[in-house]
Chains A and B, each alone.
Chain A
């Protein structure tokens, strides 16, 4: 893990936008992130996924992928690694209600990954405050890695 990553999500809580402040359509601040093999494999181990495409360089080189890749769901890590500490996705109490993602090319170790992200919609349902966010991750060649949308319930 990057030693500069702030793991105390309370620390910048007051800097983050509340539901009332979030403007649908407004871009979120993002930053490039270099995806390492170590980070890929740490993520894979956390879900018990030891497929050789993520761990065995020789196997991966001979496969249709031509080398080691990250699993499609690596965007779970990228969402936090490509956004700053004051991003509202980190607000304590944010509840993830569901997500949908489409996959194009795989992320690979060494890729410099960028994110275009924004709130797309916000609404109130059953007294809960929802925000819909949409996101597209790109590699250093400008190719789309994946695109996705998520529904979160915001802390009151």
Chain B
């Protein structure tokens, strides 16, 4: 059982790995997720307008952000015998080939319930210009006894 929970404080930061986005990584995500929406594949289609939105070219799947955030959270949680329990995200701006994005998390609070111990985190993904492309919140459980998974 880990004692990491006791050592954590609001404001503690966690950083994920940078991820370089290219047409190849977007295509690989199409094949891995089975999401072949032309938003991610078809430049001609993406030169059109989507209501009030104009992208001007193919964009990365929003859910790639989700996968990268998950990777950051599970790398952290697995090493502390903790369990990633929840992730809520919203996409703030599109990510395009050539961008490099990196997820970040900050501990907001700790809470102890009748059954377990919990950490809430705020989440951001930022690009190479330090622009926020995704935001959200996560919940990680630190069981008092070895996790039953």
A residues within 8 Å of B by Cβ? Answer: 1, 5, 7-10, 39, 42-43, 45-49, 51, 53, 64-65, 69, 71-73, 76-77, 80-81, 90, 92-103, 105-106, 126-128, 151, 153, 155-156
User: Are A64's CB and B63's CB within 8 A?
Assistant: no
Q: Which B residues lie within 8 Å of A51 (CB)? A: 71, 74-75, 78
> Which A residues touch B14, using CB under 8 A?
none
Contact check, B39 vs A95: say whether CB atoms are below 8 A apart. Answer: yes
| Contact A92-B31, Cβ < 8 Å, known A48-B19, A99-B89 | no
Contact for B85 among A9, A73, A103, CB less than 8 A: A103
Which residues in A have their C-beta under 8 angstroms from that of B64?
46-47
Contact in complex: B86, A46 (CB < 8 Å): no
Cβ contacts under 8 Å, B131 to chain A: none
**Within 8 Å CB of A101, what residues of B?**
86-88
Q: Could you give 8 example pairs across A and B, Cβ below 8 Å? A: A46-B31, A47-B64, A47-B67, A51-B78, A80-B34, A98-B88, A98-B91, A103-B83
- A1 lies within 8 A of B71 (CB): no
B66 within 8 A of A: yes
The answer, among A53, A69, A93, A99, for a CB contact under 8 Å with B63, is A99
